[in-house]
């Protein structure tokens, strides 16, 4: 098995060797034992699987409301507000609070 075949194997069947056909698993395990590139590909596949299995990141409470407020203020506020925040976009002002 070469690197391209190994990459195809993990693209199709994932990083878990128990899901690979026996003949391909033996060849793949030999390749991983001797190839840094195969080890990297396998590690990358595991990282992708773990990232996809991780729980979703939840937005902080009120974030959507702060974004909408900032967008509305950006339409209404003139550039150079008296608070000295002239160089900050409205969204930056909201998130700084």
> Is residue 67 located within the same domain as residue 43?
no
Domain that holds residue 20: 3-53
Tell which wins on pLDDT, 32 or 75. Answer: 32
Do 81 and 43 lie in a common domain?
A: no
Average pLDDT of the residues of the chain: 86
CA–CA distance, 32 with 45 (Å, rounded to integer): 13
pLDDT in tens, 60-79: 989 999 999 999 988 866 66
Give yes or no: residues 11 and 35 share one domain.
yes
| CA quadruple 63, 64, 68, 71: dihedral sign | positive
Report the alpha-carbon distance of residue 97 to residue 93 in Å, rounded.
7
Section 41-57 average pLDDT: 93
* One domain, residues 42 and 77: no
- Give the per-residue pLDDT at 14: 94
């Amino acid at each position: 098995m070469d690197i391209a075949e190994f990459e195809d194997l993990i693209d199709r069947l994932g990083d878990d060797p128990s899901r690979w056909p026996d003949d391909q698993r033996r060849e793949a395990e030999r390749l991983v034992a001797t190839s840094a590139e195969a080890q990297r590909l396998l590690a990358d596949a595991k990282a992708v699987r773990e990232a996809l299995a991780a729980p979703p990141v939840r937005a902080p409470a009120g974030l959507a409301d702060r974004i909408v407020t900032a967008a509305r203020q950006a339409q209404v506020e003139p550039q150079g507000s008296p608070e000295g925040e002239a160089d900050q976009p409205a969204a930056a002002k909201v998130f700084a609070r």
